[in-house]
Amino acid sequence: MRNYIFRRLMLLPITVILLSIFVFGLIRLVPGSVIDARLASGFPGTANADDRAKLEAHFGLDKPVHVQYVTWIGQVFSGDFGTSWLTKEDILDNFGRRMPVTIELLILTLVIYIPLGIGTGVWSAVRQNRADDYGIRFVTILFLAVPNFWLATLVIIVPLVLWGYAPPVPYVQLWEEPETNLIQMIVPAAIAALAGAAVLGRVARSEMLEVLRQDYVRTAYSKGLADRVVILRHALRNTMIPLITLIGLVFATGIAGAVIVEQIFAIPGMGRYLVQSLLTNDLPVVQVWMLVFGAAFILVNLLVDISYGIFDPRIRFQ
Amino acid sequence: MAERNYWTRMKRNRMSRRGLLRASARAGVGAAGLALVGCGDDDDDGQPAAAQVQQQQDQVEQQAEQQAMQQQQQDATAEEQQEQQEAVAQAQEQQSGGPKYGGMVQIWGEDGGLFDPAVTIHGGTDASIFQCFDFVNYMDAGNEITDAMAELPEVVDELNFIYQIKPDVHWQDLPPLNGRQFTAEDAVFGYERFGQDNPEFVYKDRYVLVEKFEAVDNLTMTVKASEPFAPLLVAMAETGALMVARDIVDQYGDAEVSSNPDLVVGTGSMMLDSREPDVETVLKRNPNYYRSAPDGGKLPYFDGYNIIWGLDDANRIAQYIAGNLDFHHLQWYGELRDIETIRGEAGEDSIVAVPNPVAFGLATHIHVNREPYTDPRVRLALHHAVDRPGIIATTLGAGTIGGPVAETIAPYGWGIEQLSQLPGYRSEAEREADLEEGRKLLDASGYDPSTVPPMEVWDWASDQGQVLQQNFRDIGYEVEILEQTTNDCLAARQNHEFSMITLGQQAAADPDLLYNDLHTGAGQNYGEFSDPEIDAMLVKGRTTFGVENRKAIYDEIQQKLLDEHAPRLWWHWSLPTVGHRPWLQGFRPTPGITPTNQVMNECWFDETRTI
């Protein structure tokens, strides 16, 4: 086990460097640049070739791409994430300010996602082909089909039309006004969780149905164990491997959801930061953002892999 | 069924044709004032510029009144409605009992995080600075040059102008300025700073024809132009021409000034109180602001601003309807959908819609050095084919057909009545004749249909691109559409890497924008159009003073462009519309890009405010 974790951790820097090359190259394939945005500001008479050359030199874009990359990755590994080209704000400062907001959103998303997904899946399996099973299946498919940006817009519009209510703005920090903060965050978290929970519920249901047909479950029932004990202690544990994989993936889907809900609900987190930076071709921010979350995603997957051994002792790490 | 277009909508939004004429008159006065102030007169009698402006203003307003009277006879019903609205407005004002102090403006904006007017690339970058800094002169409603920290300039001759700084202007009482007086030296530094050789300073070309800014005494700044340049005084008062203090720049440097909100110390009516990036900025009243109300009281009336950053479209409308905002953001391209939505949900009286004097539009740029557009007959054929009224009616629902100079740049821009008589702008039977002419031009050009490159279309103008494609097909010209994002379009246009591209365009306060658009080698001549005759006329336009003289020049330029060259397909202009609560009194739309950078020193809230 230790050797496995050690080897995986040793591979991490290599993976991150490969990821950084991929990210750096990919972003440079995107047409347009912050220079175009500045020069094409819409006001008359502000652009010429000399201006462009000066701005390119100013941002270091006049150097060969591999030189730009080495300079950038060297700064990142020395802890200097650089500054935004557009706002000149320190990127690390921005991460420090925005990361807790997104982490809170992700935690709330998980708090809703896991019980809702597993709970509905297990309940649906246990009540197979009954009215509540059909109802849950209908709802889960509905939430799978509905895009979360549409749902987010709907939860703003419907309360407004019915009760003249709009979500409180501006955003307040959890430690400043916990109650207002939770009111602001719970709905976006629920929206970010719903589609994932629907997937989790579907998978949990099919896994649970398979497990419930196993001999050892029948044996447990024949021993006279209560339903609750059979399902939660014996059956559920053996459905967890695929579910843990899915829960690990929620980190990625949660970030994707955060990009959307943070934008719609004016939450100043990492997702919103990415959108703003992408729209303005603020390359340093986008590069660091993708690198940090890519590395975090690799780490989360490592944790998921390790957790397999906890849920199924038959799994050995070699 | 009544015709539904931009102007009828505007009428519903409390702007009758008479109001429009008045607004046009004011715009004309602005331009006339510019020219008069700019040129003085030939005998150089030393008459103060402001008096000349007033004289011209009276004449233009008289003309506008006469036109309004004629319009009244033709459109009595609309006029009655207008009078009723005016009566209601007057009653409301009387009921409000005059200006009142107090209230924090609840407003939405976009936080770009830049705080230097010389770097700020557009009005939404960080709008709070527009309230914290101030202008020497500024463009008021109707693009009228208006005194601010300095009186309107005295015109010595075509090259020399004198600005008298008001003696009671002081920097805000914050370090390192600590409330010291604003002087002519400050004004000189402020303007010269825009022209510094810093690649991030985006307005530096505004003052390239200024030979010298000079402080001749503590409160007098002289401006000497290197050659006659009619739009100079407009440039001096343009949006963004905000004054930054030398003390701060010298002490902290340009980079720090643009990125550090603690260095936002200006002479404006508001002071930066707190800022949480991407969340909220709070401004509070500057107690030492120099401007006074008509009754002698101190301005501004508001206690401050709560600027909430970055609301999504749906959330923004929801916040307005729920009563959490005093302003709705402006509507682009004449679309009033959000305002209609708000009215539908919260009632007709929930929002007052005011057209902003900055015109925006959509146009199709043509690269004249790329086949088949090197042949002017192809360009003119496409110009004849564009169904401008059709595009606006079917895809925009608002706005007006556009010529080379926006109608808002009065009196130079051509209005709908004039344009609708011209080939390419006509409808119904006359359009058939235009299409026929387009086909003939296309046939005569002998272009190779197999080599037609795709037309790039801004993805925000996808619908318009499809209508254009059909219009071109009507004369037998097949062109593929290549939809592009905003960044892609800007990049293609900026790098001149397009054959034909449909994109947004912004008007200015002076027809000299055509110089930047079409003069050989000019900064925004993206399609590389070049014609010695047009070049000479454009130079003449910017160096000629007097509204009538300049109008004649720009009329000729526009006529030649439309009849002989068609270097660009101009087809749409509209006024963005600012929406605000009815309890906001005294609001006049200035050419700021968003509500957050409107000049609102003299606005106040009446007692009906519920926020």
CATH number at residue A291: 1.10.3720.10
ipTM of the complex: 0.81
Q: Is pLDDT larger for residue A215 or for residue B75?
A: A215
- What's the average model confidence in pLDDT over B265-287? 93
Total domains in chain A come to 2
In this prediction, residues B452-463 reach a mean pLDDT of 90
Provide mean pLDDT across the span B270-295: 92
Higher pLDDT, B522 or B127: B522
Could you give phi then psi for residue B92, rounded to 5 degrees? Answer: -60, -40
Handedness of CA B34, B191, B48, B539 (dihedral sign): negative
Candidate from B112, B315, B488 with C-beta closest to A264: B315
Distance CA B239, CA B117 (A): 9
Q: What is the pLDDT of residue A32?
A: 63
Lowest mean pLDDT among A29-38, B436-445, B475-484, B540-549: A29-38
- CB contact under 8 Å between B122 and A41, yes or no, is yes
Structure token pair of residue A49: 């070739």
Determine the pLDDT at residue A51. 67
Residue A254 lies in a domain: yes
* Sequence-separated (6 or more) residues with CB below 8 Å from residue A78: none
Domain identity same for A126 and A262: yes
Q: Is the peptide bond before B176 cis (omega within 30 degrees of 0)?
A: yes
B246 versus A60: the higher-pLDDT residue is B246
Angstrom distance (rounded) from CA B566 to CA B460: 24
Distance CA B255, CA B429 (A): 60
Residue A87 within any structural domain of the chain: no
The answer on A51 and A187 residing in a single domain is no
Cβ under 8 Å to B: A residues 45-104: 45-48, 51, 54-55, 57-58, 84, 86-89, 94, 97-98
Angle at B435 between CA B430 and CA B436, to 5 degrees: 95
Whether residues A202 and A142 share a domain: the answer is: yes
Question: Where does chain A have alpha helices with state H?
Answer: 2-29, 34-39, 49-59, 65-77, 91-126, 131-145, 148-163, 178-212, 215-222, 227-229, 236-264, 270-279, 283-311
Model confidence pLDDT, tens digit, residues B562-580: 999 999 999 888 877 888 9
Q: Which of residues 186-225 of A touch B (CB under 8 A)?
A: none
Is residue A316 very low, low, confident or very high in pLDDT (cuts 50, 70, 90)? low
Do residues A108 and A58 both lie within one domain? no
Note whether B121 contacts A37, CB cutoff 8 Å.
yes
- Which conformational region is residue B566 in: left (phi greater than 0), alpha (psi within -120 to 50 degrees), or beta? left
pLDDT value of residue B125: 56
Q: B136-140, B205-209, B386-390 — which is least confidently predicted? A: B205-209
Domain locations in chain B as residue ranges:
2-76+134-252, 361-574
pLDDT of A144 higher than 80:
yes
User: Average pLDDT over chain A, rounded to whole?
Assistant: 86
pLDDT of B18 above 70: no
* Domain-embedded: residue A168: yes
Domain-embedded: residue A246? yes
B-chain residues within 8 Å CB-CB of A97?
277
**Are A156 and A235 part of one and the same domain?**
yes
Q: Does residue A118 share a domain with residue A195? A: yes
Assess whether A122 and A233 both reside in one domain: yes
Enclosing domain of residue A176: 96-317
Evaluate whether residue A88 is within a structural domain.
no
Contact A32 B517 (CB under 8 A): no
pLDDT at A306: 83
Token pair for B295? 């009754």
- Distance from C-alpha of B73 to C-alpha of B141, rounded to nearest angstrom: 27
Q: Average pLDDT of A25-42? A: 67
- On whether both A191 and A255 belong to a single domain, the answer is yes
- Whether A64 and A194 share a structural domain: no
Does A309 map to a domain? yes
Shared domain for A63 and A125, answered yes or no, is no
Nearest chain A Cα to B487, which residue? A32
The angle subtended at Cα B456 by Cα B455 and Cα B458, nearest 5°, is 140
Residue B71 has pLDDT above 60, yes or no: no
Looking at residue B397, what is its pLDDT?
73
Greater model confidence, B74 or B595: B595
Provide, as residue numbers in chain B, all residues whose Cβ is less than 8 Å from the Cβ of A263: 312
In this prediction, residues B158-172 reach a mean pLDDT of 96
Spelled out in words, what is the top-level CATH class assigned to the domain B2-76+134-252?
Answer: alpha beta
Question: Is the pTM here over 0.80, yes or no?
Answer: no
Domain membership flag for residue A6: no
- Has residue A264 been placed in a domain? yes
Residue B42 has pLDDT above 60, yes or no: no
Q: How confident is the model at residue B335 (pLDDT cuts 50, 70, 90)?
A: low
Distance from CA of B138 to the nearest CA of A (A): 17
Return the CATH fold of B361-574.
Dipeptide-binding Protein; domain 3 (3.10.105)
Q: Do B522 and A45 touch (CB under 8 A)?
A: yes
Range of lowest pLDDT (A109-113, A227-231, B490-494, B545-549): B490-494
Domain identity same for A168 and A305: yes
User: B320: nearest CA in chain A?
Assistant: A166
pLDDT of residue B23: 36
- A134 and A30, same structural domain? no
Residue B469, pLDDT > 80, answer: yes
| pLDDT number for residue B134 | 94
Question: Are the C-beta atoms of residues A227 and A245 closer than 8 Å to each other?
Answer: no
Confidence of residue B25 (pLDDT cuts 50, 70, 90): very low
* Cα dihedral sign, B22-B28-B30-B36: negative
Percent of chain B with pLDDT over 70: 81
